[in-house]
């Protein structure tokens, strides 16, 4: 399976002053972050957002995770017993 990338510039339409004025947007690729750095930043921001959840949301998430792990343990045990 090929990883999904977001580098298809032809498919992306962005509203900007440059586009409205018919100007070309110049990109200095030397100043852009590496793909790994950009990916790390996205993951870090998502983690920060998850840490800001309230206690009740975290409790329900923990319950769902526990039930999921318990169900997988039961499924594994039942498949090994037959």
Per-residue pLDDT of the chain (82 residues; tens, 9 = 90+): 445 555 544 556 667 776 777 777 666 667 777 888 888 999 999 999 888 889 899 899 999 999 999 999 999 999 998 6
**How many domains does the chain contain in total?**
1
pTM, full prediction:
0.41
User: Domain range holding 59?
Assistant: 54-82
Q: Assess if residue 67 is contained within a domain.
A: yes
Q: What is the pLDDT of residue 51?
A: 83
**Whole-angstrom distance, CA of residue 36 vs CA of residue 44:** 12
Cα–Cα dist 32/38, whole Å: 9
Asked if residue 28 is part of any domain, the answer here is: no
Calculated CA dihedral for residues 65, 70, 75, 77, nearest 10 degrees? 140
Classify 69 as helix, strand or coil.
Answer: helix
Q: Does 64 fall in a domain?
A: yes
Closest CA to 35 of 2, 1, 6: 6
């Amino acid at each position: 399976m090929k990883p999904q990338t977001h580098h298809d510039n032809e498919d992306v339409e962005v509203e900007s002053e440059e586009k409205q004025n018919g100007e070309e947007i110049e990109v200095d690729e030397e100043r852009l972050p590496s793909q790994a750095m950009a990916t790390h930043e996205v993951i870090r921001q998502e983690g920060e957002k998850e840490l800001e959840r309230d206690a009740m949301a975290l409790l329900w998430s923990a319950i769902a995770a526990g039930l999921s792990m318990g169900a997988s343990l039961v499924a594994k045990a039942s498949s090994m017993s037959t």
